[in-house]
Chain A
Amino acid sequence: MALDPSFIGRSYPPTAPYEVGREKIREFAAAVGDLNPAYLDQAAAKALGYPDVIAPPTFAIALAMPASDQVIEDPALGLDFSRVVHGDQKFSYSRPLRAGDRVRVTVRIDNIKSLAGNDVLTVTGEMHEESGEHLVTTVMTLVARAVSDDETKDE
């Protein structure tokens, strides 16, 4: 079942602020095995010109994914989220996220199309610091795989 294209352009309310913490950055960096001192050591981050430790480039996904759940779980859109896979991911940074940032994510649906029976959804997340400063734009393509003929017969 194709998704309703009238949802293109729909925005969802900004999320509650997420406070980026030094220890969360450390945990994420360790989990990807990346010990760049800019993530771990305030002095090293300051030497690069940052007021505090910065987060690895893909850290923003930890905020983007919960924010995009607003779309995935929107009953009005009716996406079958058991069939959703991550197709593409992009980040555009105005500056790196850093410890102390309080970040709100505003999610919107930028495109809905159907490719070979799959629903392809483009979800953009604009991340701003509470002060209003733009931090990162994330663009995520989600693919809801079509129900195969075999499965249709089962139903």
Chain B
Amino acid sequence: MAISFDEVEVGTELPAQSFPVSRAALVRYAGASGDFNPIHWNEEFAVSVGLPDVIAHGMFTMAEAIRVVTDWVGDPGAVVDYGVRFTRPVVVPNDDAGAVIEVSGKVAKLLDGRRVQVDLLVTSGGQKVLGQSRAVVQLG
């Protein structure tokens, strides 16, 4: 199951995934993470601070995006470095559909010690929501 360094090259694509995000998911994430900022569950408050609607926690989106890496590599502890820039909010309407976070990734660099840099492309509604989203992964 583990991915070997010898199997990958620059440009190797990781299986892409789509992650739905509903209002209920944001409430659940607020409880699990301890981030109760009302912009993530209270539409009236979100609008009052200039947002179009309730937005997902940036950290929720960051948690979803790395799953493309951890599902690929199997062992989540193989992620040794992970960073993102929050460039655009994921707006989550109060309906059955919610929003969808689309994540794809590819190997961007081969590093020393059988490690690779994976660059992630993270979009919602066709727009990039995370920038400079990359992880360093220890392969076997």
**Interface pair A54/B77, CB less than 8 Å apart:** yes
Q: Interface code A16-60, partner B: CB below 8 Å = 1, 0 otherwise? A: 000000001001101111101011000000001010001011100
| B64 partner residues in chain A, CB cutoff 8 A | 32-33
* Contact in complex: B32, A92 (CB < 8 Å): no
Instruction: Assign chain B's interface to a size class.
Output: 20 to 34
Q: B25: which A residues are within 8 A, CB to CB?
A: 31, 33
A48 to B81, CA, bound (A): 19
A10 lies within 8 A of chain B by Cβ:
no
A7 interface residue, CB < 8 Å from B? no
Contact B75 A38 (CB under 8 A): yes
Are A86 and B86 touching (Cβ within 8 A)? Answer: yes
User: Contacts of B60 on A, CB cut-off 8 Å?
Assistant: 32
Complexed CA–CA distance, A89 and B77 (Å): 18
Query: Which B10-30 residues have a C-beta within 8 angstroms of A?
Result: 19, 25, 28-29
At the interface, is chain A mostly helix, strand, loop or mixed?
Answer: mixed
Residue of A nearest to B27 (CB): A31
> For the complex, is B34 an interface residue (Cβ under 8 Å from A)?
yes
Per-residue contact bits, chain B 58-94, to A (CB 8 Å; 1 contact, 0 not): 1110111011001100111101111111100000000
CB atoms of B77 and A34 under 8 A apart: no
B75 CB contacts on chain A under 8 angstroms: 38, 48
User: Complex Cα distance A92/B28, Å?
Assistant: 26
> How many Å from the CB of B4 to the closest CB on chain A?
16
Q: Which residues of B contact A39 (CB under 8 A)?
A: 76
Whether B80 and A56, one on each chain, are in contact in the complex, defined by CB atoms closer than 8 angstroms, is: no
**Is B31's beta carbon under 8 Å from chain A?**
yes
Inter-chain contacts of A155 with B (CB < 8 A): none
> When the two chains form the complex, which single residue of B19, B33, B85 contacts A33, counting CB atoms closer than 8 Å?
B19
Cα–Cα distance between A27 and B85 once the two chains are bound (Å): 26
**Which residues of B does A touch, CB under 8 Å?**
19, 25, 28-29, 31-35, 58-60, 62-64, 66-67, 70-71, 74-77, 79-86, 132
Interface residues of A (CB under 8 A from B): 24, 27-28, 30-34, 36, 38-39, 48, 50, 54, 56-58, 61-62, 65-66, 85-93, 95-96, 139
Q: List 13 A-B contacts (CB under 8 A).
A: A31-B32, A32-B32, A34-B67, A39-B76, A48-B74, A57-B76, A58-B63, A62-B34, A65-B33, A86-B58, A89-B58, A89-B62, A139-B83
